[in-house]
């Protein structure tokens, strides 16, 4: 790839070869050649002179760049995060998370890159669900990895319990309202799509001390805690770690990523839980791509927020902004 010239357009094979060896595909061995060719076909080569501004902070990125040659300096909130070299995918994280703040990207040297337009990336996801699903799974894996790096996992409890916490039985309409709660992954989703999920959820009423799952068990479901709280515990470096969760979803990240449970989950109080099988969720996603893309943006946005609050400016943030999930 170092011998490729800039006076001609790369062939699809050359683009695919570079993407396999670079980092635009976070799971290069997991993405079939046919799917990779779809992405490669939509990319074009771009060159930037040393000193050129590729992206500006405060602007949502219009394209992402897989760096083939040269070096790019990346910044966020006015602070330089570092330089990236060939193999980096600059801007994909900001596009996927629908982040309006964006990032700064300046060519430190003359740069050769493969450009993927934001709208073309959206079109690829809309037309090729396997690529979208792999992106969701990888974002979930990466987000969970960062959560597990935290010295202390924060409690996930609401400030105020909603009135519905007094309900002993959740009817169909109530489940729809819960799924469409503000700032949740499905806030913007259509009622018809949410109805498909609501029909497949299972309502549990559990007593204090009931075990939802144990660390290391296969993860096949996500649980939305309607009221009450769940005590989550795990062992890290030989010492116990605990956090509590209430009126939030738990288990979704490892379930959709295809991983095992990473903590015990035991009811701390009496609780009502809505359980959804991840296979059912994926089926609904395939029929409602907009909902799947909303979920991808929500998880990716949550990951970005966690990085900025828990890790601050540094390697983790630079990695998020320059590492792709597609």
pLDDT tens digits, one per residue of 23-50: 444 433 456 677 778 888 888 999 999 9
> Which of 254, 207, 261 is closest to 234 using CA atoms?
261
Q: Which CATH number fits domain 12-127: 1.10.10.410, 3.30.710.10, 2.60.200.20, 2.60.120.10?
A: 2.60.120.10
Q: Is residue 215 packed enough to be buried (19+ CB in 10 Å), middle (13-18) or exposed (0-12)?
A: middle
Which pLDDT score is estimated for 37?
Answer: 82
Which pLDDT score is estimated for 319?
Answer: 93
Check pLDDT > 80 for residue 65.
yes
Strands 104-107 vs 72-76: parallel, antiparallel or unpaired: antiparallel
Rounded to whole angstroms, the Cα distance separating 321 from 83 reads 12
Name the more confident of 30 and 183: 183
Cβ neighbour number for residue 76 with a 10 Å cutoff: 21
Residue ranges matching CATH 2.60.120.10 in the chain = 12-127, 150-288
CA atoms in the 13 A half-sphere facing the CB of 273: 28
- In this predicted structure, which of 34-38, 63-67, 240-244 has the lowest mean pLDDT? 34-38
pTM here? 0.87
Contact of 176 with 190, CB cutoff 8 Å:
no
Which pLDDT score is estimated for 304?
Answer: 95
What is the Cα gyration radius of the chain? Answer: 21
Which pLDDT score is estimated for 49?
Answer: 96
pLDDT tens digits, one per residue of 197-237: 999 999 888 999 999 999 999 999 999 998 899 999 998 77
Name the more confident of 16 and 32: 16
Question: Phi/psi zone of residue 78: left (φ > 0), alpha (ψ -120 to 50 degrees), beta?
Answer: left
* Residues facing residue 4 across a β-bridge: none
Check pLDDT > 80 for residue 270.
yes
- In degrees and rounded to multiples of 5, residue 206 shows phi and psi of -125, 150
Name the more confident of 18 and 124: 124
Residue 86: CB partners within 8 Å, gap ≥ 6?
Answer: 1, 22, 67, 68, 69, 70
Q: Which CATH superfamily is domain 150-288 in?
A: Jelly Rolls (2.60.120.10)
Give residue 5's pLDDT band: very low, low, confident or very high (50, 70, 90).
very low
């Amino acid at each position: 790839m170092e011998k490729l010239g800039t006076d001609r357009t790369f062939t699809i094979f050359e683009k695919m070869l570079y993407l396999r060896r670079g980092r635009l595909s976070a799971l290069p061995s997991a993405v079939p050649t046919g799917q990779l060719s779809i992405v490669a076909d939509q990319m074009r080569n771009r060159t930037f002179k040393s000193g050129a501004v590729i992206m500006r902070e405060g602007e949502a990125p219009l394209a992402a760049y897989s760096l083939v040659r040269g070096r790019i300096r990346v910044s966020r909130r006015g602070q330089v995060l570092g330089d990236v070299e060939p193999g980096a995918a600059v801007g994909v994280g900001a596009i996927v998370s629908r982040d309006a703040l964006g990032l700064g990207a300046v060519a430190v040297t003359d740069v050769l890159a493969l450009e993927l337009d934001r709208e073309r990336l959206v079109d690829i996801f809309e037309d090729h669900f396997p690529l979208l699903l792999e992106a969701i799974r990888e974002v979930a894996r990466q987000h969970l990895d960062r959560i597990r790096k935290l010295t202390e996992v924060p409690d996930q409890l609401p400030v105020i319990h909603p009135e519905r916490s007094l309900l002993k039985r959740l009817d169909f309409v109530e489940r729809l309202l819960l799924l469409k709660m503000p700032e949740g992954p499905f806030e913007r989703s259509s009622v018809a799509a949410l109805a498909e999920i609501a029909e497949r959820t299972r309502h549990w009423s559990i007593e204090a001390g009931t075990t939802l799952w144990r660390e290391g068990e296969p993860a096949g479901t996500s649980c939305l805690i309607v009221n009450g709280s769940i005590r989550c515990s795990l062992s890290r470096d030989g010492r116990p770690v605990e956090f509590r969760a209430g009126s939030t979803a738990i288990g979704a990240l490892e379930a959709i990523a295809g991983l095992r449970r990473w903590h015990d989950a035991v009811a701390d109080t009496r609780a009502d839980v809505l359980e959804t099988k991840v296979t059912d969720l994926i089926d609904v996603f395939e029929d409602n791509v907009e909902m799947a893309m909303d979920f991808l943006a929500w998880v990716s946005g949550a990951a970005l927020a966690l990085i900025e609050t828990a890790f601050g400016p540094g390697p983790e943030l630079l990695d998020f902004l320059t590492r792709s999930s597609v």
